[in-house]
Amino acid sequence: MVSSTTTSNNKNKPIAVFDSGVGGLTVYKKLKELLPNEDYIYFGDLKNCPYGQKSKQQLIDLTADIFNYFKYEDVKAVVMACNTTSANVYDEYNNKFDYTLYPIIQSCAKIISQLPIERLGVFATSATISSGAYKREINKYNSNVKVFEMSCPGWVQIVEGNKQNDELSVELIKENMDKMLENNPDKILLGCTHYPFLLDVLSTFAPRDMLIDPAEYFANYIKEDLQSRDLLNENGGHERFYVSANPNEFKVAARMFYDLHEEPQLMNFARA
């Protein structure tokens, strides 16, 4: 599940977190709470957001420069806080770099499969749903869980545009939720890191305790793995934010969820 040739003398190297936009901050915030002494690099690929409608090959091409940039930064770990890339490009890059690679779907599936759930709904992007990654990974550990996957076109754009309270946005979210509830799920997993930004709206149409944000499971998994290999940093605490476009838009959207102090810097790649 996790690829690494990292050794314990690399504990002071930074952790990279990436997503197509602000969604990965849901994971990043949990990591900062659990591991405040780590140095972090966050990259949001706003130029190519949303990822959810792109093909597997497009995603591989777009993320190649991002993974190589993290190699240049000599990070100890890369957190794939994007479900779409976790579903579609993890296998492509697994074991290709010296840093540890943490994909959100594969890292969380075992934990989620052990919850007292018989019927699990999954909201995700079209690319994640098309890959079948959540159903496949969860049923790998517990074949008795019936998984109902549903793509949610437009949700990422709602979050990136800070439009979650607009009337049309609320209508779209309600329509998706009503359709999902027809499956009588015990829980509904928010299978895109943008979707927890919509929790307040979602909670008006379904009980809050029915909704699973995997960020906390994911952050705990990463902490436990780094700790088991003596890779926790005790002397850091710095953070840097980069985006491939629209740093001001990122800043505005990010502050809905995270107390952002650092100015996001523009970072362009040949293909990103």
Name the residues annotated as catalytic.
Answer: 82, 192
Name residue 242's beta-bridge partners: 43, 265
d(CA 150, CA 257): 25
43, 45, 46, 47 alpha-carbon torsion, rounded to 10°: 140
Q: How far apart are the first and last CA of the chain?
A: 26
Q: How many residues does the chain have?
A: 272
Bridge partner list, 180: none
Strand partners, 43: 18, 242
Collapse the DSSP code of 122 into the 3-class scheme (helix H, G, I; strand E, B; otherwise coil) and give the result.
strand
The label of the residue with tokens 């149409």 reads 205
